[in-house]
Amino acid sequence: MIGRLNHIGVATPSIDESVKMYRELLGATSVTDKWAMPEQGVWVCFVNLPNSQIELIEPYGEKSPIHAFLAKNPKGGQHHVCFEVENIYEARDALVAKGATVLGEPRIGAHGTLIIFVHPKDMGGMLVELMESPKDAHH
């Protein structure tokens, strides 16, 4: 079921400040523009790496699910790990059949493909995002 590591999600109180850090401290040269995903309650930006991406997520609006994370981690930090799967519905059904808690229904994520999240209690304490493999080339 598990496929390629697509990205590491990093919650941040400021995408702009995080981008500055990735550029100045780590030498990142390929960063997407920031855009809003109001349906997810986040601003999103990707730092493109040779083998993966860092997804920077910042709260969008008062009901953003990132607020609770940042309340516990005011400077931000690793929020989730995202793996690709061939079929999101088959992956969801297999996980549920094995007793895992899938959070919500499949929905469109930042890459324009279907995503789900698996509860950290079933994933060794780590929030895991599964995303259907993009049909186009990776970013």
| Known active-site residue 17 | no
CA distance 116 to 13: 23
Contacts of 125 (CB under 8 A, 6+ apart): none
Of 55, 58, 84, 129, catalytic? 129
Which of 74, 12, 72, 4 has its CA nearest to residue 46?
12
Provide the strand spans (E) within 5-123. 5-11, 35-37, 42-48, 53-59, 77-85, 102-108, 114-118
Judged by DSSP in three states, 24 sits in helix
SS (H, E, C) 69-99: HHHHCCCCEEEEEEEEECCHHHHHHHHHHCC
Please list the active-site residues: 129
